[in-house]
Amino acid sequence: MRSPSLVGRAHLLTALRHHWPEYLMEAWGIAMILVSAGLFASLLEHPGLPLRALVPDPTARTVLLGVWVGLTIIGLVYSPWGQQSGAHFNPAVTVSFLRLGKVARTDAAWYVLAQFSGGTLAVLLMAAALGEVFTAPPVRYIVTVPGHAGLSGAFAAEFAIAFAVMAAILRLMNSARWSRFTGLAIGGLIALAIPLAAPISGMSINPARTFASAFAGGVWTGGWLYFVAPVLGMLSAVEAYRRLGGPTVRMCAKLDHPLHKRCIHCGHEPPPRGAVGSEETP
C-alpha cells in the first residue's frame, strides 16, 4: 500500500501535468497587478518625477492609484487568461473557494504557490529595473505596513475590506443576472478601498501581495496580520453567506466564466469552435 504522502505527491504532480497553464496564469495575474501598482505608485510618489508635482495633494494621488489598480484588476478578470484561471490572484480568494468546495485541494495548493511566486518575482524584477525610484522611500517596494491606527486598526481594515469583497463575489456570482459584472464590482470596490484603507493598513487584503513586497524590501512590520486578516475576513464572509442560506449551486470558482474557455474547477470544456452559444456565460 502506498503511503499517504506518496499518494498526495502523485496527485500534485498529476494536477501540475494537466493544469499547469492555469497555474502560470495565476502567477502572471498577480505579477501584473504588482507591476501596474508599482509603476504607477513610483510615477505618482517619487519626488524626482513630474507627475508628483502635477498632483501635489497626497489624497488625490491615492485616489488616482486606487482607480488605476481597480481598472487593472477589471482588465485582468476579463482578459483571456483571467477568464481561464478564474482570476483569483489572491490566496485568500482561493482558500475561500476551497472552503466552498469549488476548488480541488491540489489546484488550491498550486494556485497559492503560483500567486506567491508570481508576485515575488514581479517585485524583484521591478526593483532591479527601476532602482531607487521603486526601492527608496516613499515608494519603498510598495510595502504594506500599519498606519496611524496601529496594528488593531490595520487588522480591522484588512478584515472588513476582505469580508466585503468576498461577500460581493458570493452575491454576484450566484446571480444569473449579475454574475457577468463580478469583475467590474470587485475592481470598483478595490478602487474605493485603496484611498480609504491605505492610510490605515496600506491596503493589501492579499497575503501574496504583502509577502512579495516584504520579501523584496525586507520590511515585515505587522506582517502576520496581512496573512491572517484577509483570509479570516473572506472565510467569515463565506460562513455568513452559507448560514444565511445563500445558494452556491450555480457558482464556480471563476470571477468570469465564458463558455469558450475550459474550466479546471467545474470541468467545463469549450464547445467546438464556431458552435452556437460558445461565447455565452453559464
Q: In percent, how much of the chain has pLDDT > 70?
A: 94
Would the pLDDT of 248 be above 90?
Answer: no
Residue 276 has pLDDT above 80, yes or no: no
> What pLDDT sits at residue 247?
83
Residues composing the chain: 282
**Domain ranges across the chain:** 4-243
Confidence of residue 275 (pLDDT cuts 50, 70, 90): low
Over 70: is that where the pLDDT of 161 sits?
yes
At 2 the pLDDT is 54
CB 69 within 8 A of CB 198: no
Question: Model-level pTM greater than 0.85?
Answer: yes
Cα–Cα distance, 259 to 278 (Å, whole number): 5
Asked if the 4-243 domain carries CATH number 3.30.420.40, the reply is no
Answer whether residue 259 shows pLDDT above 50.
yes
Which of residues 250 and 211 earns the better pLDDT score? 211
Among 29-43, 152-166, 184-198, 265-279, the least confident range:
265-279
Q: Quickly state the pLDDT bin for 9 (edges 50, 70, 90).
A: confident
**Alpha-carbon distance 105 to 235, whole Å?**
16
- At 1 the pLDDT is 47
Whether residue 279 is predicted with pLDDT greater than 60 in this model: the reply is no
Contacts of 225 (CB under 8 A, 6+ apart): 146, 151, 154, 155, 158, 201
Report whether 226 contacts 153 (CB < 8 A): no
Per-position b or e across 23-36, b if 16+ CB within 10 A of its CB:
bbbbbbbbbbbbbb
CA-to-CA distance for 49 and 51, rounded, in angstroms? 6
Q: Report the mean per-residue pLDDT for the chain.
A: 93
